[in-house]
């Protein structure tokens, strides 16, 4: 029958594309995700992050770009089996990552320096953990950042003036930490739209340069003195 070879070819092509679709996950990203899982101690909540599951774009909390199939987003939150773990330095292996949200997990330690390798990162949300140490100056090296949320942690020290180098930064949440010192005047020059600094130990006057005095007073509640 003339049509049988053609039908067979169609079926082979369909199977080929089906298999390729099932494997629509960059192998480097898949390896990075499995390394991250191992660094977290292979928590049960990441059971879908499985080497035998070829398409990592369908794994819990993972978002991929629809065209490139590269991992662009990680969102993990509100799971008890991460408590006491640190943020893995292997996060930096997800080189196309744009959004990193690992919040309300009771993670400890500091923000790894390797995060500066994420040159496409525009959103970082690490709120609701037990992270400590200073807010790292190195965040200013990630020029694509627009949104930084580090609230409800144990960060200490001063707010890095170098954050004003992030010209696209519009959102800062540092509330409920142990921050001290004064508010850098340079932050008023980058067009911040949202600023949350309440429940720290900041002091001094709110700088008159830029737009910092435009924020509602609730942004500065429960500090030593952030006076207008």
pLDDT digits (tens, 9 = 90+) for 158-171: 999 999 999 999 99
Classify residue 16: in a domain, yes or no. no
Segment 1-5 mean pLDDT: 45
Classify residue 174: in a domain, yes or no. yes
pLDDT at 218: 82
CA dihedral sign of residues 196, 199, 202, 208: positive
Which of 101, 94, 144 lies closest to 120 in space, CA to CA? 144
Classify residue 163: in a domain, yes or no. yes
Q: What range does the domain containing 170 cover?
A: 27-226
Report the number of distinct structural domains present in the chain: 1
Classify residue 60: in a domain, yes or no. yes
Whether 34 has a pLDDT exceeding 80, the answer reads: yes
DSSP 81-94: GGTTPBPPGGGGG-
pLDDT at 5: 46
Q: What is the pTM of this model?
A: 0.87
pLDDT at 22: 46
């Amino acid at each position: 029958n003339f049509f049988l070879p053609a039908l067979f070819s169609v079926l082979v092509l369909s199977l080929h594309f089906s298999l390729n679709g099932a494997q629509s996950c960059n192998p480097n990203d898949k390896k990075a995700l499995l390394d991250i899982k191992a660094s977290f101690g292979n928590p049960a909540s990441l059971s879908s992050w499985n080497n035998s599951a070829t398409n990592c774009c369908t794994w819990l909390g993972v978002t991929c770009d629809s065209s490139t199939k590269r991992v662009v987003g990680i969102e993990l939150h509100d799971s008890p089996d991460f408590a006491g773990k640190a943020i893995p330095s292997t996060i930096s292996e997800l080189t196309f990552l744009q959004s990193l949200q690992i919040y309300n997990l009771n993670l400890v330690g500091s923000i790894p320096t390797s995060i500066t390798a994420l040159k496409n990162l525009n959103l970082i949300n690490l709120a609701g953990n037990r992270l400590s140490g200073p807010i790292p100056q190195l965040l200013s090296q990630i020029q694509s950042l627009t949104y930084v949320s580090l609230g409800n942690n144990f960060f200490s020290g001063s707010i890095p003036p170098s954050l004003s180098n992030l010209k696209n930064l519009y959102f800062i949440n540092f509330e409920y930490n142990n921050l001290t010192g004064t508010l850098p005047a340079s932050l008023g020059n980058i067009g911040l739209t949202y600023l949350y600094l309440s429940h720290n130990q900041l002091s001094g006057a709110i700088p008159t340069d830029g737009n910092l005095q435009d924020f509602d007073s609730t942004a500065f509640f429960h500090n030593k003195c952030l006076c207008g």
